[in-house]
Amino acid sequence: MKKAKCIATLTLIFFSLQATAFGWGDTGHMTVAQIAFNNLSPAQKNRVNQLAALIRLQDKRYEFVTSACWMDDIRDFPMFEPIKDWHFITQQFIVNNAVPVEPPPPVNAASIIMWLKGRIKSDEPDLKKAYYLAELVHLVGDIHQPLHTVTRFTVENPQGDRGGNLFLLGQGSPRKNLHSYWDAAGGRFDFTDIERPLKSSGRTKLQNFANKITTDFPKSNMTAEVTNLNPLDWAKEGFTLGVNEVYKDIQEQDVPSSDYQKKAKRISGQRIALAGYRLAAILKDAF
């Protein structure tokens, strides 16, 4: 993992990603972080906030919950194009005997999460750990968005649809393509993001989102899933959902039906809850 270590060090300055890879959007990512934060001890909460306060991006400052957005905040900096693959894992959904034109990248969300889990437990300086933590929080969210784990290949599109980015939705849809529709959790957050830095109203709204999701999907009903901290298994879960649910009951140029919207909100809520619980388990072990 020497290559990954060098790349992670560079991210202390800037980070770049493709504009299409915004798993869950700001509000979704912060909700994952809020759920994790709610499951930490007071000492652990203080520690992760202490680290997040070290993160800088021009005039932006962070706390733990908002640090979940850092990797998307730096998307406009073009310096590190090679690490754009961190945000997803390309598992191939091949339709009608399509032949993919290139293999998936070997460095991906799952491999980086496994590496970061070790780095935040290391004896490295807090400044490095702060950025490792921000990356971990974001990527745990990303890998639980099904379309960050599966790309559909067809005869018409042998290069793949880039996790639904090239799966265009019809006029009148709330989002232009399937990927961005699922990034917005199917409208669970009304397709809007909470303003940052967080104000009192934003904190209340975010906590309400977290409370609603954890009420609908309590940790006590997910014991086996929560204790599985292998990101490769998380990616397999996302792939199964992608094939059996996300790409099902919808065609290109469709407007998502009422039933599809309900399904997207339900699955998104469950994945966001699980991401938050699993992130908390990783952080409890680390701190």
Greatest C-alpha distance within the chain: 54
CA 48 – CA 218 distance, rounded (Å): 23
Contact (CB, 8 A) for 151 and 160: yes
Spatial separation of the C-alpha atoms in residues 105 and 88, rounded to whole Å: 10
Give Cα separations from 39 to 107, 120, 214, 275, 277 (angstroms). 30, 18, 11, 12, 7
User: Residue 9: its pLDDT value, please?
Assistant: 35
Measured between its terminal Cα atoms, the distance across the chain in Å is 23
pLDDT, tens only, 242-256: 999 999 999 999 999
- Residue 58: pLDDT band by 50, 70, 90 thresholds? confident
Contact 200, 193 (CB under 8 A): no
Q: Tens digits of per-residue pLDDT, 35-52? A: 999 999 999 999 999 999
Q: Which residues contact 171 (CB under 8 A, 6 or more apart)?
A: 255
Does the structure show a pLDDT above 50 at 31? Answer: yes
As a whole number, mean pLDDT of residues 142-161 equals 94
pLDDT in tens, 177-228: 999 999 999 999 999 999 999 999 999 999 999 999 999 999 999 999 999 9
Q: Which residue has the tokens 């490769």?
A: 232
Q: Which domains does the chain carry?
A: 2-286 (1.10.575.10)
Confidence of residue 239 (pLDDT cuts 50, 70, 90): very high
In angstroms, the CA 44 to CA 33 distance is 13
Cβ burial of 173 (10 Å; 0-12, 13-18, 19+) is middle
Arithmetic mean of pLDDT over the chain: 90
The answer to whether the beta carbons of residues 235 and 287 sit under 8 Å apart is no
Q: Assess whether pLDDT exceeds 60 at residue 3.
A: no
**Residue 193, SS3 per DSSP:** coil
Tell me whether strands 56-57 and 60-61 are parallel, antiparallel or unpaired.
antiparallel
Which sign, positive or negative, has the C-alpha torsion 122, 87, 73, 38?
A: negative
217 closest CA partner among 134, 158, 277? 277
H-helix or E-strand spanning residue 49: helix 42-52
Tell how strand 60-61 and strand 150-153 pair up. unpaired
Q: Residue 163 — left, alpha, or beta (φ > 0 → left; ψ -120 to 50 → alpha)?
A: left
